[in-house]
Amino acid sequence: MDFFVTSLSGIMAIGPILAMVGSTLLGVLIGALPGLNPVMAIALLLPLTYSMDPLVALGMVAGIYNGSMYGGAIPAILLRIPGTPASIATTFDGFPMAERGEAAKALKIACWSSAIGGIVSAIALMTVGPLLARVTLLFGPAEYFWIAIFGMASVGVMVGTDAVKGILAAVIGLLIGTMGIDSLSGQARYTFDQTWLLGGLDLIVVLVGLYALPPVLQLAEKCDLKGLSAAQLRLLAVPFKPGEIRSMFGTWFRSSMIGVSVGILPGAGGNIAAFLSYNAAKNASDDPDSFGKGNPQGIAAAECGNNADNAASMIPALSLGIPGNVVAALVLSALTIHGLQPGPRLFHSNPELVGGFMFEMLLTSILIFLVGGAAATRVFAQIQRLPGVLLVPSILILMCVGVYVINGRPVDLWVMFAAGVAGYFLEKVNVPLAPIILGMILGPMAEQSVRRALLISRGDASELITRPISAVLALATLGMILWPIIKALRAKRAKA
């Protein structure tokens, strides 16, 4: 109980409150713009948070994350263009409702469903997270090593469509993480006699490049010169039928549970939660044929499911150091830039910060009720009148200012640009980017832990697999890596 009281008092200051309100509004705007996504927005935001209080920085991350997941529903309903990948399922019933002249009602359902999903998810984070963190008190260097390897293996295998490419991406991240002076031996590694490489490649510089430049290049390719007209954005108020809201309670409950479960799984994202929730609502419905033709339950399920994934994805990230999705990896990056080491010890060494962030996830979900009302949604929808082509230079400028202010070094701009171009082409050939960042975050922890474990055991490598918890984690990692191979072999056999 003390943990929650201290955590809540930490965020009840003007800085974190303003950060949460402002960033939730900004998040809705970002989600409403097709082509922009929460990952890119948070990547752009992180460099600017260096000098901020960590709770202000994390409040901004929470607001952008929750806000943009709801904001993605606005173009999904009005235009059948998902603002974020997690809003794809919202288009199925949202757009048919908009065509019937019920866009305002559909947006209201999306707003309430997003807020409810987010609140349930935050409550799950606040209850399950501390329990899971207690287990980590039993961990030694060998367990820390396996936790890092398991995290990377699970994200490498589960993110994307090709497990080999996912693991390749994680190894790239691990190798980038070894660049610079080795903290244990003092040896310079992969520095190519460049003094600016002695500290290694800055995580945020690479992260901004990888996550912000590819969407910019895609926007340039798409070349939207017009934006929408005012007539396309006119919303008519349509009242709810009697009992219509009450009928959604079951859908909200079911979708929240699905979203939370998906969020806890490393590698699965909001889009999976939305699809599973949508299918579950359809299967449970008395009238499944009405789904896809403008059934409000479809919007409620999809939006509640994708927002219920948000805070739940932070459960493994904050308690074990394994991010459930890319945004959770970015949250770990945010902690790193504030001098905190993500991993199993985080919960015990910085309980106020972790607890404060949990409350920020909860409060920003509640804020969606306030900022996502009908009047506000009308304002947010207007952002779509802006021609997409103007966003290309705007985001490039924000990327450069964000990266330049970290170290004041022009060379970082080139590193960011190179990382972005590499990220653009890697995505095109189905190499996921999240494991690269995760490798950079968890790589140093994995290396230091394995070397400490070997020092303690005087070079006896069996120490890494003979302790009970590390043996379980090693087996889980092996299972995670072998799973796609077994699946492929089974599929081959079934085909033959």
Partner 1 sequence: MVNGQDITLGLIFAIIGGCAAWMASSYNGAGGTYPMILGIVLALLGATIAARAAIATQNEERPLVTAKANLIIALIAGAAYVALVVPLGFYTASALLMLCIPIALGFRRPIFTVVSAAVFVMMVWLIFSVILEKPLPREIWLTLGSGGGA
The residues binding partner 1 (CB under 8 A) are: 48, 51, 164-165, 167-168, 171-172, 174-175, 178, 182, 184-185, 187, 189-190, 213, 216-217, 220-223, 225, 387, 389-390, 392-394, 396-398, 400-401, 404-405, 408, 410, 413-414, 417, 421, 425, 428-429, 431, 447, 450-451, 454
Nearer to partner 1, 93 or 463 (CB): 463
Distance (Å) of CA 393 to CA 369, 389, 409, 450, 460: 33, 8, 21, 44, 55
Structure tokens at 480: 């995670």
Nearer to partner 1, 169 or 361 (CB): 169
Nearer to partner 1, 1 or 429 (CB): 429
Rounded Cα distance between 361 and 367, Å, is: 10
Q: Assign residue 265 a region: left if phi > 0, alpha if psi is -120 to 50, beta otherwise?
A: beta
Residues near 233 by Cβ (< 8 Å), separated by ≥ 6? 78, 378, 381, 382, 384, 385
Nearer to partner 1, 216 or 437 (CB): 216
Q: Find the radius of gyration of the CA atoms of the chain.
A: 23
Nearer to partner 1, 253 or 414 (CB): 414
Smallest separation (angstroms) from partner 1 to the CB of 100? 33
Q: Where are the alpha helices (DSSP H) in 159-240?
A: 163-177, 203-222
Rounded Cα distance between 449 and 443, Å, is: 10
Distance (Å) of CA 283 to CA 158, 276, 280, 290: 26, 10, 5, 12
Task: Please check whether residue 178 is in contact with residue 447, taking contact to mean a CB–CB distance below 8 angstroms.
Answer: yes
Nearer to partner 1, 299 or 395 (CB): 395
Nearer to partner 1, 345 or 451 (CB): 451
Please, how many CA atoms are within 13 Å of residue 115, restricted to the half-sphere of its CB? 16
Smallest separation (angstroms) from partner 1 to the CB of 393? 4
Residue with tokens 């033709």: 293
Rounded Cα distance between 180 and 190, Å, is: 7
Smallest separation (angstroms) from partner 1 to the CB of 102? 33
Nearer to partner 1, 182 or 352 (CB): 182
Nearer to partner 1, 217 or 340 (CB): 217
Smallest separation (angstroms) from partner 1 to the CB of 178? 4
Smallest separation (angstroms) from partner 1 to the CB of 400? 6
Smallest separation (angstroms) from partner 1 to the CB of 204? 14
| Burial of 272: CB neighbours in 10 Å, binned 0-12, 13-18, 19+ | buried
SS3 279: helix
Nearer to partner 1, 201 or 300 (CB): 201
Smallest separation (angstroms) from partner 1 to the CB of 82? 18
Smallest separation (angstroms) from partner 1 to the CB of 493? 17
Smallest separation (angstroms) from partner 1 to the CB of 181? 10
Task: Please check whether residue 299 is in contact with residue 191, taking contact to mean a CB–CB distance below 8 angstroms.
Answer: no
Smallest separation (angstroms) from partner 1 to the CB of 477? 14
DSSP structural state of residue 48: G
SS3 392: helix
Rounded Cα distance between 464 and 211, Å, is: 35
Nearer to partner 1, 190 or 249 (CB): 190
Among candidate residues 142, 13, 47, 126, the one with its CA nearest the CA of residue 446 = 142
Smallest separation (angstroms) from partner 1 to the CB of 450? 7
Smallest separation (angstroms) from partner 1 to the CB of 489? 14
Q: Please work out, in degrees rounded to the nearest 5, the angle formed at the alpha carbon of residue 393 by the alpha carbons of 388 and 397.
A: 135
End-to-end CA distance of the chain, in Å?
59
Spell out a b/e string for 413-443, using b for 16 or more CB atoms within 10 Å of the CB, else e: eebbbebbebbbebbeeebbbbbbbbbbbbb
Nearer to partner 1, 11 or 431 (CB): 431
